Amino acid sequence: IDVAFKAMQSGLTHYGPSTGTVELRNAIAAKLKRDEGVTYDPASEILVTHGGIHAYYLAMQSILNPGDDVLIPDPSWATHSNMAIMLRGNVIRVPAPADNGFIPHFDSCLKALTPKTKVIVLNYPSNPTGAYPSREYLQRLQDFAKEHNLWIVSDEVYGSLYYGERPTSAAAFDGVKERTILVNSLSKSYAMTGWRVGFLAAPARVIENAIKAGQNSITCVAPFIQKAAAFALTDPAIQEVTTTMRAAYARRRELVLRLAHELECDKVLVTPPQGAFYFFLDFRPLKMTSVEICERILEEAGVGLVPGSAFGDEGEGF
């Protein structure tokens, strides 16, 4: 806030470059190298966006033609499907069942494949399940994408919120950058949801298309916000704050798990999330729809939950 305020006072209140400021793009490239171990050219392979949703929109706008098939795990955050449909893509939901840790089986991916399939959309750690796959799984998925000439669009906005081994970026493999697009944001990692600042990291030819879509949708991200974002990504003290925030989420996670153990309720199955800050509670033993469960809990206990069916068919009962 202090950095943004000083930037406004200094006059950074006019239009900025549609690609993002050099300072912020350099900071993003440094962050990707530091945290994900991936190298991107800030001049041609990084684009500043109006949050993670806008980054995802620009990615899909840049690679999709009407009628292209898009493979999206089920359950997943609704915007992933909604945006693809809005851009005239055909969404094919790939089951990511609870018994496989909410990760799609490879035979399900193969079964969903069509001659029109263009892209696989990932979101790990996942909203809403908190799941993320192993490095070996992602390597196999990249091999699958290469074999079938597919793009991978990886939404990694929860990448810094994990409770065990750090998640692997979808781009962290040899020879995959030419078909991998990273979507990210400062919203979750730096508690900057209302600031609306994110980024796209992709091959230069994708960024060239995305710039056109960005210029004609938002013009630019406010320069004083970009100044604050560059500070957030590079200041050592702020990096410590994100570690403290993750520890706070970990304490809350352990509290829920402890309460679940003490209550010993066989009607609710509580699986520890690997990342993000959600519990995807399994109410299937109640034999009720997830909407009915949420309505009852809201009316009788005054607690608001989200029905799992909002995230796809595989979310029913959660």
What is 18-41 written as a DSSP string? TT--HHHHHHHHHHIIIII-----
The percentage of residues in the chain with a pLDDT greater than 70, rounded to a whole number, is: 100
In terms of Cβ atoms closer than 10 Å to its own Cβ (0-12, 13-18, 19+), residue 77 is buried
Q: Are strands 46-49 and 69-74 parallel, antiparallel or unpaired?
A: unpaired
Contact between residue 252 and residue 260 where contact means Cβ atoms under 8 Å apart: no
State pLDDT tens for residues 131-171: 999 999 999 999 999 999 999 999 999 999 999 999 999 99
In angstroms, the Cα distances linking 5 to 28, 85, 187, 224 are 21, 39, 19, 8
Q: What is the C-alpha separation between 61 and 57, in angstroms, rounded?
A: 6
Helix%, strand%, coil% for the chain, nearest 5: 45, 15, 40
Average pLDDT over residues 113-138: 96
Predicted confidence band at 267 (pLDDT cuts at 50, 70, 90)? confident
DSSP-derived secondary structure letter, 102: T
Contact between residue 264 and residue 57 where contact means Cβ atoms under 8 Å apart: no
Check residue 241 and give its pLDDT.
87
Predicted confidence band at 3 (pLDDT cuts at 50, 70, 90)? very high
State pLDDT tens for residues 108-117: 999 999 999 9
Check residue 265 and give its pLDDT.
82
> Three-class SS of residue 114?
coil
Contact between residue 153 and residue 56 where contact means Cβ atoms under 8 Å apart: yes
Tokens (6 digits) for 18: 């549609």
Q: Are strands 198-201 and 180-185 parallel, antiparallel or unpaired?
A: antiparallel
φ and ψ at 207, to 5 degrees?
-60, -40
Average pLDDT over residues 52-69: 97
Check residue 26 and give its pLDDT.
98
Q: Answer yes or no: is pLDDT of 272 > 90.
A: yes
51-63 and 78-86 are packed helices; what angle lies between their axes, rounded to 10 degrees? Answer: 40
Whole-model pTM: value is: 0.94
State pLDDT tens for residues 177-197: 999 999 999 999 999 999 999
Check residue 206 and give its pLDDT.
97
State pLDDT tens for residues 304-314: 999 999 999 99
